[in-house]
Structure 1
């Protein structure tokens, strides 16, 4: 009997399978294709008509520090993998079989982490089919405990063990923080903007507990906020936050310009960016105030009516983000900075969609939302250098505060 391992997955993962050449995009273009050490060695032993292609296109990665990116496939001048045939199918898989795919190619768009010895699997939103399955479910994301065969390959991204950390470390409360975050994001008693602001206030206070060595007060803080969410006190706090779309546009313009300067390879994202700019008549000659007025008009006239019916899409995006990235401890112990990066992702997606809604007007649809989120993920979420620059930009301009985050989140 085949050996199995325990696994925790969002329900949508049990429906996912690659749709191949029917896909409106390809994961074999626009980014570097890493080849792990074992696969590289297999390629050296291949005896088939594919051997000359492999020899000329698979190159050792001299800057590699590990086995996962031991080599790489040299892309063509149009940034497309040379192994992709005219039907948008992989020649390696067709001629040699799936076992000859590198770890990256065989597992994408699946993201695997291990938490306390349990495999957790989800999907990155840079795949259109994954976006449809994960985000277009009005019932929200649910999680299932299941098992999979140990023969299935996984490229494990992060590992977290909360059982053997020192008693003064925030990792002790990872599960409580994660469950609370997802519960807040899925609490439809409040708008998504309100949920994000509540979560921000919570993580600002959590950060204070960490910095003052009071982490054992975290469970009590969770209990306090849970009670607050069940009462009426939240609405008064939220109503005091101003709506300042001028500041939104200044910060978001900074972030977008930073990315545009670096060059964009995804034509789908270029399409969306063009629609965003056209939708709010974004020109270099326009003042930030003028652009902000048009942005707010697109929000009120087209985005808001649409999103009031489909807010579950962005809720699902954020829940998947929290789960996939081991939020709030996926990148270290600064939980409030992790929250800031999540808000930046949300705010940039929302900004694009507002402009696109202004462009498409009454024809704005879920297809446009899928296209934007998928191409945004491919262009921005997979670019660690850009995300580091975003963090630096926020610090430099002193935007990394709850006051600024609330302004970014709130449009009305």
Structure 2
């Protein structure tokens, strides 16, 4: 069905490359099934596939069960979907057609949102092909409205109903979002300074949300549009000191709380090991923070800084894609600063990975950077438990304030 759709232009060039993909979305993840698909598979009359499907599916019977999360495939001993053939192709699709795939398999890596009556489509960077298309554009991510053939089987991620008519300020979603993306794409500033500026702005908007002064948000947007062009104000951001100690604490958190499922994703595990080797550390409970601080600075100055100068648009595109697909800043949820904190932690963790890997490889190429970012997105962004454990640690230590986040972000 043709739908008016807003999407990044990279989506026009996307198609799954199947068995040619260097990663597989059918390995290392639990593949969930919606209720309709589960019943279709249960009733399938096929001499071979029918039995295999019945032997491989398991119902979700706890409180998390829903029509969209009704059952799942039990992975084999190698954490592979039992429907995945040796060729790297899906046995269901190959045998009975794509229309029989579950909503999860049909939709991924697409992210479908609906704002009022308009559809939006972007994609997860955990897909290698999407990472290349979205991140390797030196001109930055652009968007366009177009008539798009939206597959009715694709699952909806978020749905804003009548947001423009709300009395609680949701009608400000568009100007907030457009200004947010404009900040991140403003290349007159270093990317870390853009994030700091955004954090100061979001913190101000959060204070208005807390006091329910929604009518003042438009004025604040205008104020910060002026500030981003004020040389003295921008100079004050550039004079902010970084906090290597706080950044290194995040390194320690990364090592000590490494996502267990990361070991099931070989591509991420390779990048993770390279990062550890680049920092000359092993997984253990104690660290020599002074040595780690010296190594971090050396890696940054000798290798990462050059990469950032040549390919800074890659992380810019990462942030813009995240902002768009996660509907940030969504003031309907009233906690946009917490959302910004999470985005800042993701960005900082990713930068730490890249600094460590750069030290191990004596530099970063586009290919290595894409591998790190894609595998990081797959393991970290898709595991809220792990990400929450990092942000919770900051909160428990009182380090989730604007001042601490600014110190964490500063290059």
TM range (shorter): over 0.9
Structure 1 residues 370 and 150 mapped into 2: Cα distance closer, same or farther (>3 Å)? closer
Aligned counterpart, 1:30: 28
| Distance of 2:74 and 2:332 partners within structure 1 | 30
Equivalent residue runs for 1:42-81 within 5 Å: 42-48=40-46, 49-63=48-62, 64-81=64-81
Instruction: Kindly state the Cα deviation for residue 231 of structure 1 after the two structures are TM-superposed.
Output: 2.3
Equivalent residue runs for 1:9-408 within 5 Å: 9-48=7-46, 49-63=48-62, 64-149=64-149, 151-161=151-161, 162-165=163-166, 167=167, 169-260=168-259, 264-283=263-282, 284=284, 286-329=287-330, 332-362=333-363, 364-408=364-408
SS at match of 1:125: coil
| Distance of 1:170 and 1:337 partners within structure 2 | 18
Contact kept, 8 Å, 1:265 with 1:379, in 2: the verdict is no
| Distance of 1:5 and 1:310 partners within structure 2 | 35
Structure 1 residues 359 and 27 mapped into 2: Cα distance closer, same or farther (>3 Å)? same
| Distance of 2:260 and 2:108 partners within structure 1 | 28
Q: Per-residue displacement from partner, 1:33-71 (whole Å, max 9, x unpaired)? A: 001111111112212221110010012211243211111
SS at match of 1:112: strand
| Distance of 1:189 and 1:239 partners within structure 2 | 12
Structure 1 residues 207 and 315 mapped into 2: Cα distance closer, same or farther (>3 Å)? same
Contact kept, 8 Å, 1:246 with 1:289, in 2: the verdict is no
| Distance of 1:84 and 1:160 partners within structure 2 | 35
TM-score (norm 2): 0.95
| Distance of 1:217 and 1:223 partners within structure 2 | 10
Structure 1 residues 355 and 237 mapped into 2: Cα distance closer, same or farther (>3 Å)? same
| Distance of 2:25 and 2:400 partners within structure 1 | 33
Instruction: Kindly state the Cα deviation for residue 159 of structure 1 after the two structures are TM-superposed.
Output: 1.1
| Distance of 1:263 and 1:185 partners within structure 2 | 29
SS at match of 1:114: strand
Q: Per-residue displacement from partner, 1:107-133 (whole Å, max 9, x unpaired)? A: 110011111121111000110000000
Deviates most, 207-216 or 310-319 = 207-216
| Distance of 1:404 and 1:19 partners within structure 2 | 42
CA RMSD of aligned residues (A): 1.6
Instruction: Kindly state the Cα deviation for residue 255 of structure 1 after the two structures are TM-superposed.
Output: 3.9
| Distance of 2:278 and 2:381 partners within structure 1 | 24
Contact kept, 8 Å, 2:201 with 2:224, in 1: the verdict is yes
TM-score (norm 1): 0.95
Structure 1 residues 100 and 345 mapped into 2: Cα distance closer, same or farther (>3 Å)? same
SS at match of 1:122: strand
Contact kept, 8 Å, 2:262 with 2:379, in 1: the verdict is no
| Distance of 1:36 and 1:66 partners within structure 2 | 8
| Distance of 1:263 and 1:125 partners within structure 2 | 16
Aligned length: 406
| Distance of 1:68 and 1:265 partners within structure 2 | 25
| Distance of 2:160 and 2:134 partners within structure 1 | 24
Instruction: Kindly state the Cα deviation for residue 95 of structure 1 after the two structures are TM-superposed.
Output: 0.2
Q: Per-residue displacement from partner, 1:348-373 (whole Å, max 9, x unpaired)? A: 000000011111114x2011111111
Contact kept, 8 Å, 1:93 with 1:101, in 2: the verdict is yes
Q: Tell me, which stretches of 5 or more residues in structure 2 are unaligned? A: none
Structure 1 residues 38 and 330 mapped into 2: Cα distance closer, same or farther (>3 Å)? farther
SS at match of 1:406: helix
SS at match of 2:120: strand
Deviates most, 343-352 or 261-270 = 261-270
Instruction: Kindly state the Cα deviation for residue 331 of structure 1 after the two structures are TM-superposed.
Output: 8.5
Aligned counterpart, 1:8: 6
